[in-house]
Amino acid sequence: MSFFLLLLVASFSAQSLAGSAVHIPQDIVKLKKILKGLNPALDTRDVRRIYEYSCARTFLEGEGVSPHAINCVAGQRLGILRSKYHFYLYQSDFDNNFPAYSGSYFSQGICHLNILKFSCSDSVPQIKFGLYKEPVEPFVVAITLARAPEGENVVSNYGYAALKKADGSCPTGLVPISAYRADPESIFMNDPSLGGDNPPSSFVNINGALSDTRVGTVMVEAQPVYRQKNKQRCEGNPPRLGMIVGSCQDATFESPELVRSEVYKRASAEVCALPSETL
């Protein structure tokens, strides 16, 4: 039985937990008591602590921008859009999948301007819940999560959660978790919510490609989208001495402005996991 939580998101960077000291559970006595009450065969050493971290993904706007390409046109009003996405790490006494993703630049540069595609340096991974490493009763529901937005083998089985009881409650000591998804509205050219004079952008949410999925208890935050309007256009035609048409290396941007705030909505049935305060 699988409980797949598909994270179709972007790339970023977070502080690494690699090389950290052996983790000491916050309440090992309570954790042992919970496991013993569920199944005497369960071992605290096989509990995987699930960490969440976030990263900013960069999108662009400008006269030469589309969801699939960026053309360096003369006098382009190159602007920046950023949104937050979430990824997960696990750690038990025996294994982990650290470190967190470290971020990346757009591979070709953007019209002679280096821009981070993903950035996570401001995010510290936080323990959210616990899973059991192997399928042992009552932990029989596989939880699949993503470690990073890009790279090889970034999606994998993080462990197992438990099913709810017949009365809809979790087994004693466990807490309900589920997937929550935010689907931000696309930003098109001349968007009325942005004043009606903005250029085209790459922030187009086709088939949920820009959605963010988080896993845990009730979500009270919203997925933000920030916009930095162009302040100085890219090189025009004819270009200045020593410059080329469409170069954005001297482009500047205004301060970030919040332009979208998308609420997370439940996207899966609830299952049961170990509470963070015992881990």
**Predicted confidence (pLDDT) per residue in 144-193, tens digit:** 999 998 888 999 999 999 999 999 999 999 999 999 999 999 999 999 99
**In this predicted structure, what is the pLDDT of residue 184?**
96
When pLDDT is averaged across residues 248-256 and rounded to a whole number, the result is: 95
Indicate the number of domains in the chain: 1
- Given a cut of 50, whether residue 130 has pLDDT beyond it is yes
Query: Angle CA(205)–CA(207)–CA(208) in degrees, nearest 5?
Result: 60
Residue 195 pLDDT grade (very low, low, confident, very high; cuts 50, 70, 90) = very high
**Host domain of residue 93:** 2-278
Taking a C-beta distance cutoff of 8 angstroms, is the pair 151, 54 a contact? no
Of 90, 97, 148, nearest to 119 by C-alpha is 148
Look up residue 44 and give its amino acid. Answer: T
Whole-number average pLDDT of the chain: 90
Please give the Cα distance from 42 to 37 (Å, whole number).
9
Inter-CA distances, 11 with 68, 108, 141, 268, Å: 17, 16, 27, 24
Q: Read off the pLDDT of residues 5-57 as tens digits, 9 standing for 90 and up.
A: 333 222 223 334 444 445 666 788 999 999 999 999 999 999 999 999 999 99
**In this predicted structure, what is the pLDDT of residue 25?**
66
Sign of CA dihedral 138, 42, 29, 216: negative
When pLDDT is averaged across residues 248-263 and rounded to a whole number, the result is: 96
Taking a C-beta distance cutoff of 8 angstroms, is the pair 272, 163 a contact? yes
User: pTM here?
Assistant: 0.88
Please give the Cα distance from 130 to 20 (Å, whole number).
19
Taking a C-beta distance cutoff of 8 angstroms, is the pair 14, 1 a contact? no
**In this predicted structure, what is the pLDDT of residue 243?**
87
- Parallel, antiparallel, or unpaired: how do β-strands 139-146 and 2-4 relate? parallel
